[in-house]
Amino acid sequence: ALASVAASCAMAAEQRGSDAGASDGGLQLLVVRCAVGEEREPATVDAWCLRVDGSAVSQDKLDHAVSQGQVTSVSCVPGSETERQWLAACAGHLQVQLFAASPTELATGADTAFDAGLGAVAAAAASGAGAGMSGGAGGNAPEVMGIVTAAEDPYFAGYGDIGMHELMLKDTARTEGYREAIEKVYPHLFKGAVVMDVGAGTGLLSLFAARAGASKVYAVEASPMASTLHRIVHDNNLAHIITVIPKKIEDADDLIAEKVDIVVSEWMGFYLLHESMLDSVIYARDRFLKPGGHVFPSSATVYAAGIECNQLMAEKVGFWDNVCGFDMSAAKPLASQRLLAGNPVVDLEVRQDQVVTETQTLLELDCSTVTVADTLRTVHDVRLTATRPATLHALCLWFDVRFDASGSEFLLSTGPHATPTHWYQTQILFGREVSISPDSPVDCHITLSRADDNPRFYNIEVELR
């Protein structure tokens, strides 16, 4: 198959001169690799067609990239009708990615040219192979023309929803917290650094890093949002710094050929561990971080406190006292049972005045040393000591993360006392109401264990003693 591909490449190269008049000005780059079925073994590229307006651009750069394993997928930019026909013929047996960019961009230099091409290839994401085969003309950035990769994991597919990203970006505490840490507290660490952003989403952390002076940023995003991220990078004229990697970091070894100075990520979920994205940060740290490098956030702490939920109880249970003028209080026991014994509440803010016990530290993680095994199952015994007489309805969990390096520290908190965030707090309601006073503490046995049927989720068990 590779031999026939090479022959087709040679044919396209020979034909290019006679087809020059038919070329629409798109980036005339053709990089080929054999891919059969599900096999994705790296293969030596036997033939290159790399030309800008008929002039060859340094093949040494591309040869070096291949030897370093940086080119690992089929990618094509059709610059003539002949190449379009060749692509159509190959579509049935080759993994084809199409993109386009202006000849001006490619002509600026071999490094820029290759980075632009590879960046565009990397940004291809799931909307149908072979779509739109017209080359871009005169633009300043590569345009994703067709897509062959898909986010088959429902978790990553979910992050293709722009609404999720809007929610996170509008979380001022989260967004401004990362911006302040990167651009105000630690810009000296980012200046000139090679940075990896794990789970980049729409790329805000990558953009912050670039603006803080990073020399190179790998924006790793496995969801369909990678294609939008690619456009965002180019629209902000940062393609020379930020490279989009449209894969899980665990599958990206073939696209990242260097170690990094900083791994940054917004990996936290409800009660810190939900979604288990910390696993990917740990992989990135162990595989790509230089000795002495930094992981941001640097550490994380989960806290627990007892809370009363009188307002929630009134809304969910007291509601049944009067429904359109009718007494439906007979339903209150069912409503109370459903509320108190149901799933944790993760979408309501807990006010500071609801906290009726002292706060206890449940879990502390050092992001430079934590392992996946450390997070699979954690068991904790805490004593909840009341700060005033109250009715205890639930255990409340929240977390803080710290950016701690070179003698400075920055804290992002999701607690009831802090600016509200999209994480809220996690309320685990007890199956009963508990009267509590300062002289009658309540002991809790708490277990967080990763679910067997979905490793993104955790089972939380709370036993009152």
pLDDT in tens, the chain (465 residues): 233 333 333 333 334 333 333 333 332 233 433 222 323 333 333 233 333 223 333 444 444 444 444 433 334 444 444 444 444 444 433 333 333 333 333 333 333 333 333 343 333 322 332 222 222 222 333 332 222 233 357 888 788 889 999 999 999 999 999 999 999 999 999 999 999 999 999 999 999 999 999 999 999 999 888 888 989 999 999 999 999 998 899 999 988 989 999 999 999 999 999 999 999 999 999 999 999 999 999 999 999 999 999 888 888 889 999 999 999 999 998 988 888 766 788 988 999 999 999 999 999 999 999 999 999 999 999 999 999 999 999 999 999 999 998 777 899 999 999 999 999 999 999 878 899 999 889 999 999 999 999 999 999 999 998
Instruction: Compute the distance between CA of residue 24 and CA of residue 21 in angstroms, rounded to an integer.
Output: 8
Active site residue 275: yes
Secondary-structure percent of the chain, ordered helix, strand, coil, rounded to 5: 30, 30, 40
Instruction: For residue 306, give every residue at least 6 positions away whose Cβ sits within 8 Å of its Cβ, in sequence order, or none.
Output: 355, 356, 357, 384, 386, 392, 394, 395, 396, 436, 442
pLDDT of residue 366: 97
pLDDT of residue 342: 67
Instruction: Compute the distance between CA of residue 59 and CA of residue 64 in angstroms, rounded to an integer.
Output: 9
Instruction: Compute the distance between CA of residue 244 and CA of residue 427 in angstroms, rounded to an integer.
Output: 37
Residue 426 in tokens: 């996690």
Instruction: Compute the distance between CA of residue 54 and CA of residue 17 in angstroms, rounded to an integer.
Output: 7
Backbone region of residue 136 per phi and psi (left: phi > 0; alpha: psi in -120 to 50; beta: other values): beta
- Return the closest-CA partner of residue 250 out of 199, 195, 194: 199
- Threshold 0.75, pTM exceeds: no
pLDDT of residue 315: 86
Backbone angles phi, psi at 390, to 5 degrees: -165, 175
Classified as helix, coil or strand, 183 is: helix
Count of other CB atoms within 10 angstroms of residue 207: 23
Cβ proximity of 144 and 99 under 8 Å: yes
DSSP, res 94: S
Instruction: Compute the distance between CA of residue 238 and CA of residue 210 in angstroms, rounded to an integer.
Output: 8
Classified as helix, coil or strand, 323 is: strand
Catalytic residue among 83, 105, 143, 275: 275
Instruction: Compute the distance between CA of residue 462 and CA of residue 382 in angstroms, rounded to an integer.
Output: 11
Catalytic residue among 266, 315, 461, 463: 266
pLDDT of residue 254: 86
Active site residue 105: no
Angle subtended by helix axes 204-211 and 225-235, to nearest 10: 30
Instruction: For residue 93, give every residue at least 6 positions away whose Cβ sits within 8 Å of its Cβ, in sequence order, or none.
Output: 1, 36
The sheet with strand 75-76 has its strands ordered as 55-56, 49-52, 29-31, 75-76, 98-100, 143-146
pLDDT of residue 420: 96
Cβ proximity of 121 and 99 under 8 Å: yes
Instruction: Compute the distance between CA of residue 323 and CA of residue 53 in angstroms, rounded to an integer.
Output: 75
- Return the closest-CA partner of residue 54 out of 84, 83, 14, 81: 14
